[in-house]
Structure 1
Amino acid sequence: MAALPIGLATLQGPQILLLMLLAGCVTRIALQDWRSLRVSDFMNGMVAVIGIGAWFVGIDPARVDASRTFLEIVRDVTLTGGALLLVRALYFRLRGIEGLGLGDIKLGAAAGIWIGWEDFALAVFGAALGALLFVLGSTMKHGHWSAGRRIPFASFLAPAILGAWYLGQQLAAV
């Protein structure tokens, strides 16, 4: 537990501001998805606008030591959102139902601005692990998990993006 306050002490002023803004957005997204199984375009847009806004003023949210070009950010957004869009399409083809909502995909695209494509797998892994543990816990408590029951995936993906961003900031400071 001591690692979090120590890690926070290593962040610079702009990084602390970005942490607070991203934490506020992902908290709202997670709660919104948990309650309604929806992520608003407004909140996904806020994540993207804050990230791009920081980049425009010279603070690349994904890189402490160097700045990406705008085309590299477009690449990251395309790869992260595109990866989830591909999962959605493949799942629909295999099962005939939508496994991911478009809000999840837009959140994945916005994540590309904050963590880049390189760290996106870590965020998806963390989100998937959290969702699996939720299903396991719910199944142990309530019994059967029906095949049609939906999981609020953005409730797990949003905090995982924050965690991947924070970890990236800490690793860059080492």
Structure 2
Amino acid sequence: MLLSKHIGPDLLPVVVATVAALVVGLATLEAARIFLSVLLAGCMTAITLQDWRSLRVSDFTNAMVAVIGITAWFVGVDPVGVATSRTLLQIARDATLTGGALLLVREFYFRLRGVEGLGLGDIKLGAAAGIWIGWENFALVVFCATLGALLFVLGSTMKHGHWPAGRRIPYASFLAPAVWGAWYLAQVFR
């Protein structure tokens, strides 16, 4: 607990996640990708904690994810890890398709139920994720995040007896780890 006293309880999980990403990266990734793994893990952990605690994801954190991904591309390390680097237009396409897919879900749900089902922070996270994982892997990320959220609701329902109709789910808390997981697996199996 000495470490948590010096860096604060909010920062401790981010530090732990980045160190874990570093250790895993050292064992499996090349140098530039280790650095990306650490940065992405730190950002995704921060997003997870933000959403879990406040049901919000800051624009700053989402912007950091996007800026780090684009900066990596500019210095010659495409975050997706494809054999041939994507063009900037392809990166914009990936961000638009992934963020746009979540925006469509949000709009459809609002028209169906009259309630916002996804926050704009989730949609921005989806767009930033497109820079890192491409549109091709996004369906798997959404599937894993949604499965995690459903298991959370099931566990909470089993423990407390019911799930109130108006209770919100911190979806980015499930989406962010799924983004890092999909990114990491794409690096290892490329």
Question: Which bracket does the TM-score occupy, shorter chain normalised?
Answer: over 0.9
What does residue 146 of structure 1 align with?
164
Higher relative contact order structure (alpha carbons within 8 Å, sequence separation ≥ 6): 1
Q: Aligned partners of 1:155, 1:17: CA distance in 2, in Å?
A: 23
Q: Is 2:71 aligned against 1:53? A: yes
TM-score (norm 2): 0.86
Deviation, 1:10, is 2.6
Where do residues 35-114 of structure 1 align in structure 2 (5 Å cutoff)? 35-114=53-132
Deviation per CA, 1:118-155, whole angstroms, max 9, x where unpaired?
Answer: 00011101100000000000000011101110000000
Flag structure 2 segments of 5+ consecutive residues without an equivalent. Answer: 1-20
**Is 2:95–2:130's contact at 8 Å kept on the other side of the alignment?**
yes
1:123 to 135, 141, 157: 141
Pairing partner for 2:45 from 11, 27, 38: 27
Q: Write out per-residue CA displacement over residues 17-73 of structure 1, whole angstroms, 9 at most, x where no aligned residue.
A: 000000000000000000000000000000000000000000000024220000100
Q: What one-letter code is carried by the residue in structure 2 that aligns with 1:16?
A: I
Deviation of 1:171 (Å): 1.0
Alpha carbon RMSD of aligned pairs, Å?
1.3
Mapped to 2, the partners of 1:7 and 1:154 lie a distance apart of: 24
Give the % identical residues. Answer: 76
Q: Aligned pair 1:10/2:10, yes or no?
A: no
Q: For structure 1, which runs of at least 5 residues remain unmatched after alignment?
A: none
Which of 115-124 and 5-14 deviates more? 5-14
Counterpart-to-counterpart distance in 1, 2:159 and 2:92: 43
Deviation at 1:7, TM superposition (A): 7.0
Contact 1:88–1:98 (Cα < 8 Å) also in 2: yes
Tell me, in whole angstroms, the C-alpha distance in 2 between the residues paired with 1:22 and 1:96.
34
- C-alpha distance 20-7 of structure 1, shift in aligned 2 (>3 A): closer
Aligned residues: 169
